[in-house]
């Protein structure tokens, strides 16, 4: 989400990188030249160019970095993959800078479709994606588009003037290959391209094709889907706001209408980077969410996991939350006047293991806090709800999520009635009100500075929303920014630490599987 301009602190980049590298202290007992082959290369991997072992997962190299990382300040070092195996950047990215092949001849949609036949039939071939995207909604026969179930879309949000530099292209190619080609699970990657001129008629096929030629490299043409505010207004005329700042999910909601074969959709940003294998990272987050029980889940979602306080045990953290909250936490849907919950009813008796094994309708990487009482600039930003600002809500900063088609469709129907919130509160609030399973993954987050009393600074809210409370430093407040540790964090939305960590990683530094955001490399 875009925020008002801020004055960034000027911090010497080299000093921050040096500090973080020293703090992480990643050292392999085998040395940098003694590397390991992928520890989980069980796949029917498919190649970009058929019959050529070129982009195989067997080419990936992992350094044994067991015992190298100190305890993270926030999050679990092993939550997105094994901390023992650090995937080396060169083995991932160098091949996608290669001039051996003409990348303009690659069509990533066709590659993914061809590779999908090795797994299970996906009902999309050639340029069908564009035809479906442009098809009038009332003419769409959704049942004819159903696949054989359990397909997952990975959608990258981008825009028409995005600069596709060589470094960025190498990363995008690696992301597509790792997500959709390396493993057996059914992932498929798309681009959702925001055309900023609202006057361009993208419903006109000729105009659409010309715009596609103008704004997206040829290799991505058959996975890129264009939209603008004109498109969004046609779908949601009752909503006055269609800009990316406040409505980051409207295009994704349309995507879920158009492509119902995807049960779940990851929305990623172009300035997000993975230090671990993309598919394995997403699967690790999904697996963690699936194992979470619903008892006091919203209360766990509402706080940061600071591992040194719990002997580096997330189970101990969960037990501590249970001890604090007891049976008074959010159990089922929180009621509202406007609609009946669509989620499963809670069991008649408080079963502690309720929800274990259940897929999450929402996965986030930051706490889902109660915005009421925070003094957040969007605290009162709820529209079209009968209960107004008394409506129970949740919000999470950074709109990088996995959402179910069910959740997106519920939001879409509500927005067609004129009910809406800003981006960061949209998925979270509807999941809360409908009683859907939502999970915050306690990802690894590093801060460039050692912060005394970190827990007190980032978990200072009430028990149900510890990361919230009055004026949390990660939010843009009604009176501007507050000083706090987030200015130098590896996952937030100001540039700096994340980009410096990525630069160190690309330069050969070993890092455990983690998310870095934002990385504005050119």
- In the chain, pLDDT over 70 holds for what percent of residues? 85
Q: What SS3 class is residue 406?
A: helix
Place of tokens 């107004």: 388
Give me the domain span that covers residue 487: 13-516
N- to C-terminal Cα distance for the chain? 21
From residue 143, give the alpha-carbon distance in Å to each of 259, 403, 406. Answer: 10, 21, 15
Average pLDDT, the chain: 86
Segment holding 438, helix H or strand E: strand 438-440
Nearest to 444 by CA among 268, 264, 271, 275: 275
Q: Is the pLDDT of residue 402 over 60?
A: yes
Contact 492, 486 (CB under 8 A): yes
* 402 lies in some domain: yes
Half-sphere exposure at residue 399, Cβ-oriented, CA atoms within 13 angstroms: 23
Q: How far apart are CA 273 and CA 501, in angstroms?
A: 10
Q: What is the DSSP letter of 517?
A: B
* 419 lies in some domain: yes
* 6 lies in some domain: no
Contact 166, 97 (CB under 8 A): yes
273-278 average pLDDT score? 98
Q: What is the pLDDT of residues 184-232, one digit of tens each?
A: 778 999 999 999 999 999 999 999 999 999 999 999 999 999 999 999 9
Predicted confidence band of residue 45 (pLDDT cuts 50, 70, 90): low
311-315 average pLDDT score? 95
From residue 320, give the alpha-carbon distance in Å to each of 306, 308, 310, 337, 474. Answer: 12, 13, 9, 34, 24
The region of weakest confidence among 38-47, 83-92, 266-275, 371-380 is: 38-47
The region of weakest confidence among 64-68, 239-243, 465-469, 497-501 is: 64-68
Burial of 33 (0-12, 13-18, 19+ CB in 10 A): exposed
Q: How far apart are CA 510 and CA 87, in angstroms?
A: 7
Q: Is the pLDDT of residue 101 over 90?
A: no
* 5 lies in some domain: no
Predicted confidence band of residue 339 (pLDDT cuts 50, 70, 90): confident
pLDDT score for 358 = 97
* 7 lies in some domain: no
Nearest to 399 by CA among 289, 519, 246, 286: 246
448-461 average pLDDT score? 87
Q: How far apart are CA 72 and CA 70, in angstroms?
A: 6
Q: What is the pLDDT of residues 466-513, one digit of tens each?
A: 999 999 989 999 999 888 888 889 999 876 899 999 999 999 999 999
Where b means 16+ CB within 10 Å and e means fewer, 132-161 reads ebbeeeeeeeeeebebeeebbbbbbbbebe
* 8 lies in some domain: no
Tell whether pTM > 0.85. Answer: yes
Predicted confidence band of residue 137 (pLDDT cuts 50, 70, 90): low
* 366 lies in some domain: yes
Neighbouring residues of 506: CB distance < 8 A, sequence distance ≥ 6 = 89, 93
* 4 lies in some domain: no
| Number of independent structural domains in the chain | 1
Place of tokens 């469709």: 409
From residue 290, give the alpha-carbon distance in Å to each of 247, 282, 285, 363, 449. Answer: 28, 12, 9, 10, 34
């Amino acid at each position: 989400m875009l925020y008002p301009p801020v004055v960034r602190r000027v911090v010497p980049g080299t000093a921050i990188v040096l500090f973080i590298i020293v703090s992480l202290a990643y050292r392999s007992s085998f040395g940098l030249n003694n590397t390991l082959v992928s520890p989980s290369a069980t796949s029917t991997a498919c190649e970009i160019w058929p019959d050529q072992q070129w982009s195989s997962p067997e080419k990936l190299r992992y350094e044994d970095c067991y015992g190298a990382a100190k305890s993270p300040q926030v999050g679990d070092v092993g939550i997105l993959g094994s901390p023992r195996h650090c995937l080396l950047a060169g083995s991932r990215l160098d091949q996608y800078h290669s001039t051996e092949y003409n990348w303009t001849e690659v069509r990533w949609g066709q590659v993914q479709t061809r590779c999908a036949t090795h797994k299970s039939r996906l009902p999309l071939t050639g340029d069908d994606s564009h035809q479906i995207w442009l098809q009038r909604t009332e003419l769409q026969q959704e049942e004819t588009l159903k696949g054989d179930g359990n397909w997952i879309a990975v959608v990258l949000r981008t825009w028409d003037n995005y600069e596709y530099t060589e470094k960025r292209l190498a990363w995008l190619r690696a992301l597509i290959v790792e997500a959709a080609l390396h493993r057996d699970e059914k992932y498929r990657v798309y681009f959702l391209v925001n055309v900023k001129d609202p006057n361009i008629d993208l419903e006109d096929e000729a105009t659409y094709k010309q715009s596609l030629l103008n704004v997206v490299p040829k290799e991505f043409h058959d996975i890129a889907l264009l939209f603008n505010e004109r498109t969004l207004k046609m779908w949601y005329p009752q909503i006055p706001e269609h800009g990316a700042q406040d409505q980051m999910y409207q295009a994704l909601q349309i995507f879920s209408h158009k492509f119902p074969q995807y049960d779940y959709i990851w929305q990623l940003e172009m300035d997000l980077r993975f230090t671990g294998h993309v598919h394995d990272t997403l699967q690790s987050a999904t697996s963690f969410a699936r194992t979470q029980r619903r008892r006091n889940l919203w209360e766990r979602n509402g706080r940061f996991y600071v591992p040194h306080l719990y002997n580096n045990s997330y189970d101990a953290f969960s037990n501590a939350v249970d001890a604090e909250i007891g049976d008074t936490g959010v159990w089922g849907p929180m009621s509202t006047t406007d609609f009946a919950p669509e989620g499963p009813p809670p069991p008649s008796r408080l079963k502690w293991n309720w929800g274990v094994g259940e897929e999450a309708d929402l996965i986030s990487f930051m706490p889902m806090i109660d915005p009421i009482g925070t003094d957040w600039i969007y605290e009162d930003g709820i529209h079209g709800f009968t209960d107004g600002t008394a409506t129970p809500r949740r919000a999470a900063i950074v709109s990088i999520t996995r959402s179910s088609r069910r959740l997106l469709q519920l939001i879409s129907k509500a927005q067609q009635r004129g009910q809406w919130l800003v981006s960061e509160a949209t998925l979270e609030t509807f999941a809360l009100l409908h009683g859907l399973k939502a999970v915050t993954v306690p990802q690894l987050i590093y801060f460039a500075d050692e912060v005394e009393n970190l827990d007190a600074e980032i978990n200072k809210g009430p028990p149900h929303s510890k990361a919230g409370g009055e004026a949390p430093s990660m939010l843009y407040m009604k009176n501007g920014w507050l000083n706090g540790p987030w200015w130098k964090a590896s996952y937030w939305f100001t540039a700096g630490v994340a980009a410096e960590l990525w630069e160190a990683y690309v330069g050969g530094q070993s890092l455990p599987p983690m998310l870095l955001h934002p990385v504005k490399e050119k």
